[in-house]
Structure formats: structure tokens, C-alpha cells
Amino acid sequence: MAVFQRMFDFISKYLTVFRLPRVGILDVLEIIILSFLLYQVMKWMKNTRAWAVVKGLAVILVFMAIAEILDMTTIIWIGKSLFTLGAVAIIVALQPEIRRLIEDLGKNNLLTTLILLGDKQNDGRFSDKTLNEIISASFEMGRAKTGALIVIEGDSPLEEYERTGITVDGLVSSQLLVNIFEHNTPLHDGAVIIRGNRVQSATCYLPLSDNRSLSKELGTRHRAGVGISEVTDALVIIVSEETGKVSVAQNGELFRCLDVIDLRRKLEAIQDKKEGKTRKNGKKKEEEKKDEAKADA
């Protein structure tokens, strides 16, 4: 009974906050404006790493509310003590996203920026044709011992890294990728970023991994590939200039010396199979209709 009494007192205490005074036209207008801005900010956050932080904070707040209801004084004290430190840590962790938002606010007006940021959506996964073109280019460059660094975007947006390179915005093809990384071409140095079926940028700079478990024989290209996979969910294909071997970096791990089958499996694992599922469902329905027709006959 004591637990239920504390729960009732907790709810009663915080419900008093929601007692509304008289509401006028200006108050309604203010609520609409704030709701719109909050909605746009939430849409923007959903396309950045900030969304994962928000979900984590929501879990912590629920846990703290339960601790408050159950009168867990030690947990409550620790939570309040770490509040300021946690706020600073969040600002540091989300520094790139916050900087990008402030930069865009400086270039455009507030509403335009929030609407554009909120409407940015991942253009989807790549098609089977794109998958085959990437595999073909990777092993063609491997045979020629042409170094390459191909970053395939996942759910984490890579605009921050695209800005460090040169915009390409071309349809993915084996010829395009090989030409980009060809020796002595203007775009061969740095990484290529692929979103959906298009090459977005080339000569992009990536963060280097400081993972000490990586072999010392690995160069900057491999460390950059692992580095970007540590901070995003991107899949990175690395072609060694020295050995011609094809490797993949994903979730901070490096998978070395892959063959065609291994690379295809890695790419298919992140590929959107919705179209494939639709085709399969269509085929199943056609087969069911044929079976029914045979049964009727």
C-alpha cells in the first residue's frame, strides 16, 4: 500500500504543473508555433545520431521516475548529481550535428532550415544492379592494385563527411568507381560516399580509428575505413593498393581478404529487400492461383 500511496503522491505532485489558466488567442497561437517547431526539430533529430541519444534519455527518465515513485534515494541522488555532467557530455557527443544546425540557421531563415532538415530522408538502399557494379569495381581495382575506399551509407546520415569532398551525384557504375580511383586522377585521393544508387561525393575525409588492435601493417586507408564504421552504421569497402586484397569495415570491425561471395553477402545483408519481398509475395499469389485453378479443373 505504501508504494501505491507514493505513486499517487508523485502523480498528484506533478499533475499540478498542467493546471491551465485562462487561454487566449495569443496563447493558442504560441502553442501552435511551439508545436510546429518542436515537430520539425524532432524530424531533424530522427535523421541524426541525436535520435538515439533522445531514446536513451527517455529510458533514463522513465527509470528515474520509477526510482522517484519507489523512493530510491541513492539512485535519485546519483541521477541529480550526474545531470549537469550528462548535459555537457551530450553537447560534446553531438557537436557535429549541433554545428551543422547552427551553420544552416546562419545560411537560411529558421523555418526553411528546420523544414529542409526535417525532410531529409535516406534515399533508400541500393538495387541489385548497384550491388553488382560495386562488386565488379572492387575486384577489378583489386586486380590492378588500385587503392579504393568506398563508403556505403546506412541509416546514419553522412552529410558531414560529404561536405569534405567534391560533389559527384552520379549513378553508381563499375566504370565510374574505377575512373574515380584511377591513379593520378583529381578524385582518387580520399573516400567515395554512396547513398542508394548514387555516388554522392568523392575525395571525402574520414575519421581515423585509434583502435590499437588493428595490425600495424595497415595503412591510413584501412584505419579511415574502420574509423567511419565506428561512428556510423556505414559499410566500408577497402581495396589495398599494396596487395589488391578487398576488405570490409563494419561496426568497428575489419574483415580482411574477402572473395566475391563474401563481399556479396556483406552487401546483401544491408540491402533493402522490400522489392524482393514484394516480388516473392507476388509469385506466391500467382502460384496459389495456379494451384486453385488446377484443383478446380
| 223-236 confidence digits (pLDDT tens) | 999 999 988 889 99
In terms of Cα–Cα distance, which of 79, 48, 50, 86 is closest to 65?
79
- Per-residue buried b or exposed e for 238-275, using 16+ beta carbons within 10 Å of the residue's own CB: bbbbeeeebbbbbeeebeeebeeeebbebbeebbeeee
**Is residue 252 left, alpha or beta, with left meaning phi > 0 and alpha meaning psi from -120 to 50?**
left
Q: How confident is the model at residue 275 (pLDDT cuts 50, 70, 90)?
A: very low
At 245 the pLDDT is 94
Partnered with residue 250 across adjacent β-strands are: 235, 253
In the predicted model, what is the mean pLDDT of residues 16-31?
71
Domains of the chain: 2-119 (no CATH), 128-271 (3.40.1700.10)
Strands 191-195, 148-152: parallel, antiparallel or unpaired by DSSP? parallel
In terms of Cα–Cα distance, which of 169, 141, 92, 112 is closest to 246?
141
In percent, the amount of the chain with pLDDT more than 90 equals 34
**How far, in Å, are 24, 106, 112 from residue 101 at the CA level?**
33, 9, 12
Q: Is the pLDDT of residue 273 over 80?
A: no
The answer to whether 151 and 191 are in contact (CB under 8 A) is: yes
Q: How confident is the model at residue 276 (pLDDT cuts 50, 70, 90)?
A: very low
| 187-215 confidence digits (pLDDT tens) | 888 999 999 999 999 999 999 988 888 88
**How far, in Å, are 19, 21, 63, 74, 170 from residue 8 at the CA level?**
17, 24, 17, 21, 61
For the chain, the average pLDDT equals 79
At 248 the pLDDT is 95
Residue with more model confidence, 59 or 165: 165
**How far, in Å, are 29, 40, 97, 101, 157 from residue 118 at the CA level?**
22, 6, 13, 11, 13
At 26 the pLDDT is 83
Which residue has cell 507476388?
282
